[in-house]
Amino acid sequence: MAMLRFFLGFFLFGGSSLNLICTSHGLPNNHVHAALFVFGDSLFDPGNNNYFNTTARANFYPYGETFFKHPTGRFSDGRLIPDFTAEYAKLPLIPPYLQPGNHQYTYGVNFASAGAGALTETALGYVIDLKTQLSYFKKVEKLLRQKLGDADAKAFFSKAVYLINFGANDYISFLTTNSTVTQFSKEKYVGMVIGNVTDTIKEIYRKGGRKFGFLNLGDLGCAPARKVLVPGNTRACFEQATELAKLHNAALSKALQELETKLVEFKYAKHDINISFSERRNNPEKYGFKEADIACCGSGPYRGINSCGGKRGVTEYELCSDPTEYLYFDSSHPSDKANKQISELMWSGAPNLTGPYNLKALFEE
């Protein structure tokens, strides 16, 4: 049960087939839109996990109820950051790669998988890990290159934006499971995670990618799912998780700065979700929330037990009447309202929160 709870905890802080209007070469008319390709975990997964045998799913009530009016596989009551990003970029919803019948990729595609890590060992067998997500992208790249020809493909992939988010599940795994990779020091382990992310960026760059968007990690220890691990219900955060997130954020910043100096035309937007989410957790009323410690859906202290929907071993759960009042929808994931606020900051936020570019600047280049 402990292992099952981890696989279902995929915490980041703490569609339909496309109908395209295309030219004879398959690109959108006048090449107006940059495509969006998404790699990540449950913060970004629009439902890929619906299409293979895993317990890491959110395709049941009450997920999806406030916006889509039905569950889609997204770990929220509504939309995720890639959904808002697509809207702001005037793109359709970017569909999950594994969705049957989705064979058009000229607006991009989403490879993210709830529970996934940068390390293959994280939730092995339950998720689409980063290495596999990259292999899917390479298949799409090859298909589009054959379809468009080398010149148009080069323009297409250099204009596209690549959203990437990994790390949280690797660090929760480090703290909650016993495997060969978790025997390393914290610093060594963080280096392995960042190394895999960096290698992926380089591979996408080799295929023509130039514009990237990232989140760092929020305070992993302060999600309801982590706070429930601290004895005494004191509202204290789980400090071991917080420490790993800090190490990750410092290493990610350093790695991106190094890539910027080494890779010609490499541009990126990194949003400091550690700051933006902490501000909302510490001052919920300022941002329109009534509750930032307790999840809308779940059970136990802080509703931090991952029982939302009653299909993960614990059948009983509590559900709030208005998710818009809550920072967290379930024990580990933001509400639609919180995702929207973070997405707005990623899209057009100032350099102190999103830099050196924001996503709007990348899409408009």
Of 330, 332, 336, 343, the active-site residue reads 330
Beta strand ranges found along 44-123 (DSSP E): 108-110
Catalytic (active site) residue 330: yes
DSSP reduced 3-state for 108: strand
Q: What are the residues whose beta carbons fall under 8 Å from the beta carbon of 47, sequence distance 6 or more?
A: 15, 59, 72, 73, 74, 96, 99
Distance CA 290, CA 285 (A): 6
Least Cα distance to 214 among 31, 26, 354 occurs for: 354
Of 88, 89, 91, residue with least CA distance to 104: 91
User: How far apart are the C-alpha atoms of 253 and 250, rounded to whole Å?
Assistant: 5
Catalytic residue among 42, 113, 276, 299: 42
**What is the identity of the amino acid at 95?**
P
Give residue 37's region: left, alpha or beta (phi > 0; psi -120 to 50).
Answer: beta
Tokens 């957790």 identify what position? 281
Which of 33, 248, 271, 333 is flagged as catalytic? 333
Distance CA 17, CA 40 (A): 20
Whether 199 is a known active-site residue: answer no
Question: Is 103 assigned a catalytic role?
Answer: no
The pair of three-digit structure tokens given for residue 97, joined into one six-digit string? 């790669």
- How many CB atoms within 10 Å of residue 38? 30
C-alpha distances (whole Å) from 353 to each of 50, 179, 358 are: 33, 36, 9
Residue 273: CB atoms within 10 Å: 27
> Please, what sign has the CA dihedral across residues 220, 339, 65, 116?
negative
* H-helix segments, the chain: 2-7, 81-88, 130-148, 150-159, 168-176, 186-206, 224-227, 239-262, 273-282, 336-348, 359-364
Residues with a catalytic annotation lie at: 42, 330, 333
